[in-house]
Chains A and B, each alone.
Chain A
Amino acid sequence: MPIRKFAVPSSEAEIPDFLNAIVLLANFVVIPATAYGAQLALGALGVTLVYSVLRFANFAHGDLMAFGTAATILIVWLFQGWGVSLAPLPTAILALPLGMIITCLLALGTDRFVYRFYRHQRSPAIVFVMVSVGVMFIYNALTRFLIGVDDRRFEDGERFIVTVIGFREATGLDQGLALRTSQVLTVIVMVLVTTAVFWFLRSTRTGKSMRAYSDNEDLALLSGINPDRVVLVTWMLAASLATIAGVLYGLDKSFRPFTYFQILLPIFAAAIVGGIGQPFGAVAGGFIIAFSEVALTYAWRGFLTHILPPDLIPAGLVQILSVEYKFAVSFLILVIVLLVRPTGIIRGRVF
């Protein structure tokens, strides 16, 4: 039996085998899903903020992310040309604030020339949604015009914190573990940014104005809240979050404008699973979607060979869905949540 060669039948091999299984799981499921989840969470946070304050589902968010990333990549190239770097960290971290500013300007310009008109008309939400679809196409074209449609890798600096070979040598286990700089960076940035956003919404006057505006727009107009300023800050937050999410995603994987249009679905799914309009829910939703997606498209056979007795090891790959169907997972979760718990996991009012 060819399977035999994977499993060591002796009893003293059992403990390292269990460790091997854990390492394998961490390497192929936990670490990638955590990084991906953090990226989705940042994206979903932006979608949820726009939804709760401006009251529409912003379809252009994915392409806003693409634009922000493209702008950041151009600045990275500029910096690289000048020889400026932040080694061992990727240059993108240095370029990110500038990319955020450019993306903010784009979002504010869009609001000034597109959304503001409909806001003053007091158009229904569906009109805003359709307008945002139009904006999405324009952003998409703008991004392709700016940087082209090709795959771009812009990760530089030290790529790995832990390499597969280094890990194997250090631990003596069969399975290797890789920990990439971009993955660690993603999680750190995500924790810092979400904490800052939550603190901002909870404690600052502007954040409270945003919550007030989202709670009761009519009353907000009858208070000392400046509605234009609330809208401005919301767009700036959404654009900054979109750029951060987009750049982290691009660092972790690669940048292609069309991919950013595709991840709109998992991002929307994350926002809805978390209860749309709930910032905390958006973050939780991001991780739920990411873990489900990775777990359902992962071939579990390697993991099972480590923990099951040799006779029970299945012959197939034990992969529930092939990787091409990964976006179907978001769709599936979306449908289930809408059927079973349409309010999302976190109930209650917006914010």
Chain B
Amino acid sequence: MIRVEDLHMHFGGIRAVDGVSFAICSGTITGLIGPNGAGKSTLFNVIAGHHQPTSGRVFLGEEEITGLPPHELFHRGLLRTFQIAHEFPTLTVRENLMMVPPDQPGESLWSAWFHPGRVRAREAEVGTRAEEVMDFLEIGHLADEPAGNLSGGQKKLLELGRTMMVDARIVFLDEVGAGVNRTLLRTIGDAIRRLNKERGYTFCMIEHDMDFIGDLCDPVIVMAEGRILTEGPPDTVMADEAVIEAYLGKGGGQRPPRPVHRAPA
């Protein structure tokens, strides 16, 4: 589904992502873990089109998508959520969800004036889908609440809901469980699993909660210092010597110095 080839993202002298290659298979829930500063979020931002990579290539299916802007990726079915939930604070939860589907006729002034029937029909269709999503995530009671008033956890649910408004091919979740209480975390986890099983969504998620990861994800990719340390099923990965070392820091200074990678021109 997603294939990343030798991706580099350097900020000045900092190699936030330093030669990463991996593939995400269709229909999986891939976990991306690693200590703080490992380059997970940067990797997400590069794949999702927020940063131009220094070098390397990203493919979605067979198509190269390296450096495409976020809205183009959205149209290709690559969606993401943010570590700090993004929402349209002055729009209601329902309106937030209804904003997501692209190319609605109501957005063109021409159709708004000359095809009001078509606009209404599409609006109703999108509205029904928003109702379904809110039912699925059990946030129906918040439908007419401005999204700015939601709690942190509810905003995360709304973020997840946004990805359900279109037929996504792959969804990148950036710490969807961070700062969310246990009960809500379970709801989110259930939603992710059901989306994966029932609707065939592919997920790739950054997460710190190991139980959550172990419960949901297979395979798990471990990053440290901008590189992939190891990948595999959660049990194997979490038992891995190098992973424990990266997390607990058995003296980062003892690592052998890396050869300097030159970005291919």
Q: How many A-B residue pairs have CB under 8 A?
A: 81
- Complex: how many Å from CA A226 to CA B69? 13
The digit string for A211-226, where 1 denotes a CB below 8 A from any CB of B, is: 1100110111111111
Which of A71-79, A201-209, A241-249, A304-312 touches B? Answer: A201-209
Number of B residues, CB within 8 Å of A = 31
Q: Is the CB of A216 within 8 A of B166?
A: no
Q: Is the CB of A233 within 8 A of B100?
A: no
Interface assignment of A229: CB less than 8 Å from any CB of chain B = yes
Return A336 CB to nearest CB of chain B, in Å: 28
Q: Which of A222, A229, A349, A351 contacts B80 (CB 8 A)?
A: A222
Interface assignment of B109: CB less than 8 Å from any CB of chain A = yes
Q: Is the CB of A212 within 8 A of B88?
A: yes
The digit string for A183-216, where 1 denotes a CB below 8 A from any CB of B, is: 0000000000000000000001110110110011
Q: Is the CB of A221 within 8 A of B69?
A: yes
Interface assignment of B65: CB less than 8 Å from any CB of chain A = no
Return B148 CB to nearest CB of chain A, in Å: 8
Interface core residue of A221, A223, A225 (most chain B CB under 10 Å): A223
Interface core residue of A212, A222, A236, A351 (most chain B CB under 10 Å): A222
The digit string for B65-88, where 1 denotes a CB below 8 A from any CB of A, is: 000011100100001100000111
Q: Which of B89, B100, B112, B119 contacts A223 (CB 8 A)?
A: B100
- Complex: how many Å from CA A225 to CA B71? 9
Q: Is the CB of B71 within 8 A of A219?
A: no
Interface assignment of B107: CB less than 8 Å from any CB of chain A = yes
Within 8 A of B (CB), among A119-176: none
Q: Is the CB of A208 within 8 A of B109?
A: no
The digit string for B176-216, where 1 denotes a CB below 8 A from any CB of A, is: 00000000000000000000000000000000000000000
Given A205-B123, A224-B101, the answer on whether A219 and B87 have CB atoms closer than 8 Å is yes
Q: Is the CB of B99 within 8 A of A223?
A: yes
Return A292 CB to nearest CB of chain B, in Å: 30
Q: Is the CB of A216 within 8 A of B112?
A: no
In the complex, which residues of chain A have a beta carbon less than 8 angstroms from the beta carbon of B101? 224
Given A221-B69, A224-B103, A224-B166, the answer on whether A205 and B119 have CB atoms closer than 8 Å is yes
Q: Is the CB of B102 within 8 A of A215?
A: no
In the complex, which residues of chain A have a beta carbon less than 8 angstroms from the beta carbon of B166? 224
In the complex, which residues of chain A have a beta carbon less than 8 angstroms from the beta carbon of B112? 204-206
- Complex: how many Å from CA A222 to CA B79? 7
Given A205-B106, A208-B99, the answer on whether A219 and B86 have CB atoms closer than 8 Å is yes
Q: Is the CB of A211 within 8 A of B91?
A: yes
Q: Is the CB of A209 within 8 A of B70?
A: no
In the complex, which residues of chain A have a beta carbon less than 8 angstroms from the beta carbon of B106? 204-206
Q: Is the CB of A222 within 8 A of B91?
A: no
Given A205-B104, A221-B70, the answer on whether A215 and B119 have CB atoms closer than 8 Å is no
Q: Which of B79, B87, B107 contacts A209 (CB 8 A)?
A: B107
Q: Is the CB of B89 within 8 A of A226?
A: no
A224 (CB) vs chain B CBs: closest residue? B102
In the complex, which residues of chain B have a beta carbon less than 8 angstroms from the beta carbon of A208? 91, 95, 98-99
- Complex: how many Å from CA A7 to CA B89? 60
Interface assignment of A16: CB less than 8 Å from any CB of chain B = no
The digit string for B94-133, where 1 denotes a CB below 8 A from any CB of A, is: 0110111111101111001000000100010000000000
Given A205-B104, A209-B107, the answer on whether A225 and B99 have CB atoms closer than 8 Å is yes
Interface assignment of B149: CB less than 8 Å from any CB of chain A = no
- Complex: how many Å from CA A227 to CA B148? 22
B72 (CB) vs chain A CBs: closest residue? A221
Q: Is the CB of A229 within 8 A of B108?
A: yes
Q: Which of A204, A220, A236, A349 contacts B89 (CB 8 A)?
A: A349
Interface assignment of B162: CB less than 8 Å from any CB of chain A = yes
Q: Which of A205, A206, A224 contacts B100 (CB 8 A)?
A: A224
In the complex, which residues of chain A have a beta carbon less than 8 angstroms from the beta carbon of B87? 215-216, 219
The digit string for B46-72, where 1 denotes a CB below 8 A from any CB of A, is: 000000000000000000000001110
Q: Which of A211, A216, A224, A351 contacts B86 (CB 8 A)?
A: A216
- Complex: how many Å from CA A224 to CA B99? 6
- Complex: how many Å from CA A222 to CA B159? 11
- Complex: how many Å from CA A229 to CA B108? 8
Given A223-B162, A224-B166, A233-B109, the answer on whether A209 and B90 have CB atoms closer than 8 Å is no
In the complex, which residues of chain B have a beta carbon less than 8 angstroms from the beta carbon of A351? 90
- Complex: how many Å from CA A226 to CA B162? 16
22 A/B residue pairs, CB under 8 Å, sorted by A: A205-B106, A206-B112, A212-B99, A215-B87, A215-B89, A219-B88, A220-B99, A221-B74, A222-B70, A222-B71, A222-B74, A222-B79, A222-B80, A223-B100, A224-B74, A224-B99, A224-B102, A225-B102, A226-B102, A226-B103, A229-B108, A349-B90
Q: A206-B106, A220-B99 are in contact. List 6 more A-B contacts (CB 8 A).
A: A212-B91, A215-B91, A216-B88, A222-B70, A225-B99, A226-B103
Please provide the 10 A-B residue pairs with the shortest distance between their CB atoms, ordered closest to farther. A205-B106, A224-B102, A215-B88, A219-B86, A212-B88, A221-B71, A224-B101, A223-B100, A223-B99, A212-B99
By a beta-carbon cutoff of 8 Å, the part of chain A in contact with chain B is: 204-206, 208-209, 211-212, 215-216, 218-227, 229, 233, 236, 349, 351
By a beta-carbon cutoff of 8 Å, the part of chain B in contact with chain A is: 69-71, 74, 79-80, 86-91, 95-96, 98-104, 106-109, 112, 119, 123, 148, 162, 166
